[in-house]
Every structure is written in C-alpha cells, then in structure tokens.
Chains A and B, each alone.
Chain A
Amino acid sequence: MTQSRPWIPYALILPSVVFLGLLFIVPLVQTIWLAVSDNGTPSLANMTTMVSDLNFGRSVLNTFLLTLAVVPIQIVMALTMGSMVAKMNGGRETILWIWTIPLGISDLAAGMVWLSILQNTGYLNSILFGMGLIERQTAWLTYQTPVALFIGIAIAEIWRGTAIVMIIIVAGLNQVPKEFKEAAEIFGASPWTRFTRITLPLIRPALQSALILRTVLAFEVFAVVYALGGRNFPVLVGEAYNWQNQNQNYGVAAAYAVLIMVISLAATLVYLKVVKVDPERLP
C-alpha cells in the first residue's frame, strides 16, 4: 500500500513541517533581521547599543561563569547518581522518580523555592539563627554579596537542571551491557579503570547529548536568576527581556537573542568536535 501511494508519509509529515516553519523559521529570520537592521535598512546599530551597554559585559561574564560552574558539576553529579543507582537492585525506580521531581517544576517556581530558602526571612537564615551561627538576618542575594548570590543561583540551577542530565546519562548507562564491565573486571581493571576506560567511552553519545542540551539551556538561564537576583545578577536572556519589556527596544532585544543563539551553536559545535561520537566505535 505504501508503495502504491508514496506521497502518504510526506503528507502526514507536512503539517508538522508547516507548523515549525511558521512558528520557528519565520520568527527566526525576522529576529535576525530585526537585530541587524535599523528602520528597514541593514545596520549594526542594535549590536553597537547592545555591546556598549553597561550591563552587556557583566551579563556575558555572568552567563559564562554560571554555565562553567553549573554544567560540569551537573555532569559529574549525574554520572555519580547514575552509577549509584546502577548498583541497586530494588527501589531503583523510586529513587530515580524522586531525583527527577525538579524536572516537573517550572524554572520560575524553582527560583521561588530557592528564594524562600535564601531570602532574608528564609529557611536558611532561620536555621543558621536557630543554631546560633548568625546573630541577625543575613542578606545573601544582594549586589553587595556577589559571591553568595552567585553560589545561591548556581545551587538553584544545579538543583533544577541536574535531573535532565541524569536521565540522559542513566539511559546511556543502561545501554552498556554489564558483560563489558565484567570482562574488564575479569582482566584486572579496577573500578575506576572500568569507569574511565569502559563506561565513559561507551556512554559518549549520551554524554554528548547531555552536554549539548544542558549547555544550551544554561546559556538560556533566566527565571531562576530573575527570581533570586533580579537585576543584581544580569544574564544574557535577562538583558534581552529588559530591552524588550522595560526599554521597549525590540532591535537590541533581538540582538541579544541572536547572540545567545550564536553562542549556543558555537558550544554545540565545540561539543560535536571534542566529544566526538564515532559510530564505528559503538556497540
């Protein structure tokens, strides 16, 4: 039947292609045009405004610092968590279920959760005060405490975003037959050698996906930062938001959007190159 009507698969796929074309590619082209034009003529004015803005340097730096701090920790945590549940016989599903709870929470809600912990009247201060470690409420999230603010945001981001990395890593670990590790064990590989020489190379595809996905999401960080730091901790998406909504300058907002896209694409390309997946070397 499929042979007599070869157009059927195309017809079935068409709506999704049209949908994506209308709601993704068209806005994408418009955004790029908006960023590199001024009153309908090609111009770098928006770019110049963006770059010369006081917050630009800080937002680039903050975004990169946050990504550099959060992503490696998340990958290591996810690998550790995945390896730990792999050794369990019973209760594995329950543990995974609990670990993935943050996934079901929107990033703004996650920001609010951590705000309720870290704000002046929050749980952290209550506990520290109760234990007699501080004498009065301490502010953690102000521009005067940039390190504490950064750590607070990083912890909230790690809490919120590790689950997705872990799911990908666990799926990758599940694909590695246990015979590979047993064979390595028989031939004298220590647990650490088994992990570095057998497990890690074999989960390269999962590692690559997790890195790309998590890094792109880290460059797009916004709601958690906004909830905890407001404008004390400018990040790229936050700046785009401000130019769009506060300043009503869509051109500069578009310039930020394009910049974020370019950075994400570059990061993806770096990962594709560095964490190379050679199909010939997979099981």
Chain B
Amino acid sequence: MANIVIDNIKKSFGAFQALKGVSLTIKDGEFVSLLGPSGCGKTTLLRIIAGLETSTSGDIRIGDKSVIGLPPKDRGLAMVFQNYAVFPHMTVYENVAFGLRMQKADDARVKKQVEKAAGLLHIEAYLDRYPNKLSGGQRQRVAVARALAVEPGVLLMDEPLSNLDALLRLEMRTELKTVLQEAGTTTIYVTHDQTEAMGLSDRIAVVHDGRIEQVGTPVEVYNHPATRFVGGFIGNPPMNFITMPVTNGQVAAGSQRFAVPAQGGEIVLGLRGETVERAPTGQGLDMEVRVAEPMGSHLLLTGSILGQPARVILPATETVKNGETVGLALDPKRLTWLSPESGVSYPAAA
C-alpha cells in the first residue's frame, strides 16, 4: 500500500511535448483513472510512473520516497498491460509466480501467493495450462493475478480491458472492481473508455493534450466538468454546449430565467442530455428534432437547440416524431456554465 505524489512531470519526445507539467496526488488504497483520448499522454505518464520511461523533469514519490531514477523493480509496483503480456512459454502457474520467483521467494510462499491470487481471479482450474489455450478474458485474469501475487504497493493498469469484447469487458469491469476492493491496492488505471473510468474509479483524472484538465469523483467530473473538453469527452451522448446571450446577468430559455456568472455578452450552457424534461414549447428551450431513436431504455433525440447541434434523452415512454419541435424544461441545479472564450466552466452555483 502506498500513496503517490506526481509533481509537475514533464516529458518531451524531441520537439513534441507529451506531458506539459502534470501533478496529481493519489491516496493510499485509492483507485484513480487517467482518462483521455489516444495520444493525450496518459500512457506515457503511466510508463513514467512504472519506470519504463524517463521524465524530462518533475518528481514522483511513491510512499513518500522519490522513485525518479529507480528501476521499475525498486518502485514496489506491478503492472497489467493492454495486450496482457502473459508469457506464452510458461504455464499459468509460472506466470503468476513470475514476480515472486524474481524476488527469490521460497516455494512455499510462491505456492501460497499463487493460490491466493488465482483464487481471487478464479483461474485455479487453468494453473497447469499454457496461455495459448486460454481466451482473452482468461489471459487478462492471469495478468491481473500475476500483478496481485506480489502484493504490490501500487498497481498500474494500461487499458487492461480494451482488447476484450464488449460483453466480457462489462463482466471483467465488475469483477476487477470487486477484486481490487478486496485487495485494497492503490491503483492507477489508464483508459480511453469513460464508462470504465466512471464505473471503476474513486477519482478520475481527465488528461488532454499533455495536461490534467480535471480531477474529481466520477459524479463531480460528470456533472460539473471543469472544461468544455471534459464535458464533451465524458458522457454518452456527450454534454451539449449551447451559446446563449446574457442580459443583466441572466439567461432566458423560453419562460425560464437563470442567473449566470456573467453580466452581458454570451455564455455557454453545458447541458447534460438526460437532465431535461419534456415541456410545452416555449416554456424552456425548444429543440428541433431531426432524428428520434427509441433505444428501449430511453429515447434519444438528435437535432438542434437555438440552431446549435444537440442531443437529449427523454424517457422511453415519450413519443417524438422526426422533424417535430419539442419543448425542454431545464433543471437549474444541473446546468454548467462555461466561458465562451476559454472553455472553462464557472464554479457550480452554491
């Protein structure tokens, strides 16, 4: 168990700045996701924490000890790779035992730890087999068991579920959460899949263009994105951004009035698609529906609000025809207001 302090880490590959000064503190036992699109620098950051890559500047402390310059094995961590990296020429048992063997653990301890990790991941039945004979999901279990068998202070996971098919991913996600809660290991989890990050994490760090845009609990990040990027990246459908005129510190949406943190000019409304309620037109924002898609669990509407593209979600019980205009009442507690110039959101109203 260990806490991690990432202090102003920068990384350049030639002229390209992959990380532009990243700082993040992770508490002991916490599960933090680094979430961002591919190429944002999240994997680079993870590899720097692991010691597989060197940072250009900055400091990383694991358990209050700076690990800069230390080889991976002296950092007290384990890692699960995107393509599992389960050794094909060793049995599942030897794979899980690998870290312990490298630590020169005696056979009794190896056996005990392997059995414990295998039990946690439900792979006891495959211990004698070679990974080649296992499915992707089973290999992933072996990779996680190998990491947990050494009882690492920190567990690093690099897109561990992205090679699995959708159904298996959901299943493994739930199981990972259970297993990691039980193990209580400090975990850093890299993913580009926001549902994975939302479902698993205690906190999410949204990485964009070599910087952390926001750190917060899944609910905070979802409801009150710090920037336009975060709102657009998290949530499916993504947050709608509607530029609206401000008069005397207020924005009018039909007959609804909202006090906003600006006096005049324009402001951007960040609107989560599922926070609206159907209302008579003219009462809130009117939406011209281009396509209505009944999804079973809900009704997805795609169209425009004030001439700007928008997607909203209504209960499955509603019926809307393509081309219809529907009125949408807004919930003042669930709106985010952003500066149109900087794309940064204003603090949530108290």
Residues in chain B near residue A182, CB distance under 8 A = 52, 79, 81, 85
Q: Does B247 contact A (CB under 8 A)?
A: no
Q: Taking CB as reference atom, which chain A residue is nearest B73?
A: A188
CB B123 to nearest CB in A, in angstroms, measures 17
Q: Which among A198, A204, A279, A280 is the interface contact of B87 at CB below 8 angstroms?
A: A198
A238-283 interface with B by 8 A CB criterion: 279-283
Residues in chain A near residue B79, CB distance under 8 A = 182-183, 186
Task: Give the docked Cα–Cα distance between A188 and B85 (Å).
Answer: 15
CB B266 to nearest CB in A, in angstroms, measures 49
A184 touches B98 (CB 8 A): yes
A202 touches B78 (CB 8 A): no
Task: Give the docked Cα–Cα distance between A127 and B89 (Å).
Answer: 50
B130 touches A186 (CB 8 A): no
Q: Taking CB as reference atom, which chain A residue is nearest B143?
A: A183
Residues in chain A near residue B51, CB distance under 8 A = 186
Task: Give the docked Cα–Cα distance between A264 and B82 (Å).
Answer: 44
A178-200 interface with B by 8 A CB criterion: 179-180, 182-189, 193, 198
Task: Give the docked Cα–Cα distance between A58 and B344 (Å).
Answer: 86
Of listed B83, B98, B130, residue having the most chain A CB within 10 A: B98
B102 touches A201 (CB 8 A): no
Q: Does A21 contact B (CB under 8 A)?
A: no
Task: Give the docked Cα–Cα distance between A282 and B146 (Å).
Answer: 19
**Given contacts A182-B85, A188-B103, is CB(A280)–CB(B132) below 8 Å?**
yes
Residues in chain A near residue B77, CB distance under 8 A = 186
Q: Does B276 contact A (CB under 8 A)?
A: no
Task: Give the docked Cα–Cα distance between A182 and B82 (Å).
Answer: 12
Q: Which among B89, B98, B103 is the interface contact of A282 at CB below 8 angstroms?
A: B89
Residues in chain A near residue B81, CB distance under 8 A = 179, 182-183
Q: Does B315 contact A (CB under 8 A)?
A: no
Task: Give the docked Cα–Cα distance between A283 and B98 (Å).
Answer: 17
Task: Give the docked Cα–Cα distance between A177 and B146 (Å).
Answer: 18
A185 touches B73 (CB 8 A): yes
A281 touches B150 (CB 8 A): no
**Given contacts A177-B85, A179-B83, A186-B79, is CB(A280)–CB(B133) below 8 Å?**
yes
B37-92 interface with A by 8 A CB criterion: 50-52, 71-73, 77-79, 81-83, 85, 87-89
Residues in chain A near residue B132, CB distance under 8 A = 279-283
Q: Does B160 contact A (CB under 8 A)?
A: no
Residues in chain A near residue B78, CB distance under 8 A = 186-187
B85 touches A180 (CB 8 A): yes
Residues in chain A near residue B88, CB distance under 8 A = 202, 281-283
Q: Does B273 contact A (CB under 8 A)?
A: no
B121-177 interface with A by 8 A CB criterion: 130, 132-133, 146, 150
Q: Does B99 contact A (CB under 8 A)?
A: yes
Task: Give the docked Cα–Cα distance between A9 and B322 (Å).
Answer: 55
Task: Give the docked Cα–Cα distance between A281 and B130 (Å).
Answer: 6
CB A66 to nearest CB in B, in angstroms, measures 33
A183 touches B85 (CB 8 A): yes
CB A188 to nearest CB in B, in angstroms, measures 4
Residues in chain B near residue A279, CB distance under 8 A = 132
* 14 further contact pairs, Cβ within 8 A, besides A183-B87, A283-B132: A179-B81, A180-B87, A185-B71, A185-B72, A186-B50, A186-B51, A186-B72, A186-B73, A186-B77, A187-B73, A187-B98, A202-B89, A204-B89, A279-B132
Chosen A-B contacts, 18 in total, with CB atoms closer than 8 Å, are A179-B82, A180-B85, A180-B87, A182-B81, A182-B85, A185-B71, A185-B72, A186-B79, A187-B73, A187-B98, A187-B99, A187-B102, A187-B146, A188-B99, A193-B102, A280-B130, A280-B133, A281-B132
Chain B interface residues (CB < 8 Å from chain A): 50-52, 71-73, 77-79, 81-83, 85, 87-89, 98-99, 102-103, 130, 132-133, 146, 150
